[in-house]
Amino acid sequence: MYAILDIETTGGSARFEKITEIAIYIHDGQKVVKEYSTLINPEKVIPYFITRLTGIDNDMVENAPKFYEVAKEIIELTEGRIIVAHNAAFDYSFIREEYKSLGYNFHRNLLCTVRLSRVIIPGYESYSLGKLCSDLDIGNNTRHRAAGDAMATVQLFDLLLQKDRDGHITKAITADAVALKLPPYLAKETLDNIPEETGVYYFYNEKKDIIYIGKSNNIRKQVLNHFSEKNHNKALKMKNEVCNITFEITGSELIALLLESDEIKKHKPRYNRAQRNAYFNFGIFHSYNEEGYITLWAGRIDEGNEPLARGLNMEELRNTLHEKAELHRLCQKLCGLYDHSGACFQHSVGMCKGACVGKEPPEEYNKRVMQLMRAWRYKHQNFLIISQGRVFNEKSVVAVEGGKYLGFGYVENDFQVTNPEQLKFFINRYSDNRDVHTIIRTHLRKNVNAKIVTY
């Protein structure tokens, strides 16, 4: 029923570090029925401070099996069992990352003895494994080695099982399933295969029609959120129709947004009604009045009426205009925010230089408006946005040329680029439209340190 385990690693980041040792004890709820332990060659140098902590050095793992050589055995040992670990999220993240590098989506239910201990045996100063074992007289002569720590976790878990009079362990195991109440026609195996990655996901009905498309930085978490929704009839109705789920990992959040937008327009899913045609139906526009001042206003986007900026609704855009008017000392009246005769309110408090009553010449006022307008446009006409890829040795590329969106693609990190235009060969073409430019501009505005390559 339980696979109680511990790992040792080359460092603290699951994305960049590797497993050096793993120990697993199979527990039937009463006793250990099987043991497994092995060193693992991490295929990278073990830092000295890690060796000092664990005692595992590079010589010890030189002839140890690599993770892919023990991957099948670990799958078989944990299949159909609940993984139990102290600070389970740490161990689990490393194991999932190792399998991800092999192209396999590893998913198991989890129990964390840190969290369980805080609930079942409260009141201890520290819930680290070392401190807790010392306080509870649990022996561990091989601290910071997988087998020693895993066996200490076994003894701690046995104690928690004995003291758990209120069923906290059972609740922790079943909480996920109870909260989810999976769609009646969706196989649990389908849900188990959904990754905790950035990308786009698709819901299908019994006729294999796509009924909903979404994007998330954690696809699995977002899908579970859909199925936990209980307060909206639309969400409940959609949930009852879902028979299958597929996904496409993008790595980059920007590409997830761009792909989601394109796919919704292409497939027109029933439950994406609000997003079928366009996300951003309102915009900020400009023109010159009779006195030669540039005026700004917010309104609905029509054919041929190209805005400076786009938004979801009028309130959002009017708030933007208020913010920009203050930042650039623009006139509220000339920004469509003050509908009265005479000077605007900003002029009365010294924040408008008097364009509304002709005190500031149009030439001076328009310079600040044009500065704002340039900020709403792309700084460069031909550029590439470089971001993370779908796997660790890959990067993503989004291309804009001549101010038009070309599409996106992926390239290996070690590809030698002598000319930025070479990256265009890796671009898959997608439709250019208003929404994608709003998505790209919003991304650049929020990510000021985004890697941009111009050409």
Domain count, the chain: 4
CATH of the domain at 213: 3.40.1440.10
Determine contact, residues 347/356, Cβ cutoff 8 Å. yes
Same domain, 108 and 45: yes
Last residue of a domain, one of 322, 345, 373: 373
Domain boundary among 255, 275, 295: 275
Q: What is the mean pLDDT of residues 251-269?
A: 96
**Sequence-distant (≥ 6) Cβ neighbours of residue 290 within 8 angstroms:** none
Does residue 187 carry a pLDDT above 60?
yes
Domain limits for position 231: 181-275
When pLDDT is cut at 50, 70 and 90, the band that residue 24 belongs to is: very high
Query: Is the pTM above the cut of 0.85?
Result: no
Query: At 142, which CATH number?
Result: 3.30.420.10
In a domain, 365, yes or no: yes
Q: Is residue 194 part of a domain?
A: yes
On whether both 134 and 188 belong to a single domain, the answer is: no
Helical packing angle, 88-101 and 67-78, nearest 10°: 120
Q: Are residues 243 and 259 in the same domain?
A: yes
Tell whether 299 and 158 lie within a shared domain: no
Q: Say whether pLDDT at 245 is over 90.
A: yes
| pLDDT classification of 243: cutoffs 50, 70, 90 | very high
Q: Mean of the pLDDT values across residues 400-412?
A: 93
61 in the same domain as 140:
yes
Residue 424: Cβ-neighbour burial (10 angstroms; 0-12, 13-18, 19+): middle
pLDDT higher than 70, residue 179 = no
How far is C-alpha 282 from the geometric centre of its chain's CA atoms? 27
| pLDDT the model gives residue 330 | 94
Q: Can you give the pLDDT at residue 74?
A: 98
216 membership: H or E segment, kind and range: strand 210-216
Say whether both 145 and 266 belong to one domain: no
Domain final position from 334, 353, 373? 373
Q: How far apart are CA 168 and CA 256, in angstroms?
A: 38
How many CA atoms within 13 Å lie on the side-chain side of 34? Answer: 13
413 and 331 belong to one structural domain: no
pLDDT in tens, 280-337: 678 899 999 999 999 999 998 876 677 888 777 899 899 989 999 998 999 999 999 9
Helix 219-228 vs helix 233-241: angle between axes, to the nearest 10 degrees? 110
The stretches of 271-357 forming alpha helices (DSSP H) are 314-328, 345-348
| 163/245 same-domain check | no
Contact 158, 32 (CB under 8 A): no
pLDDT at 232 over 90: no
> 309 and 395, same structural domain?
no
Residue 210, in any domain of the structure? yes
Model confidence at 252: pLDDT above 90: yes
Q: Which residues pair with 428 in a beta bridge?
A: 408
DSSP for 36-97? EEEE-B-SSPPPHHHHHHH---HHHHTTSPBHHHHHHHHHHHHTTSEEEETTHHHHHHHHHH
Residue 25 and residue 172 in one domain:
yes
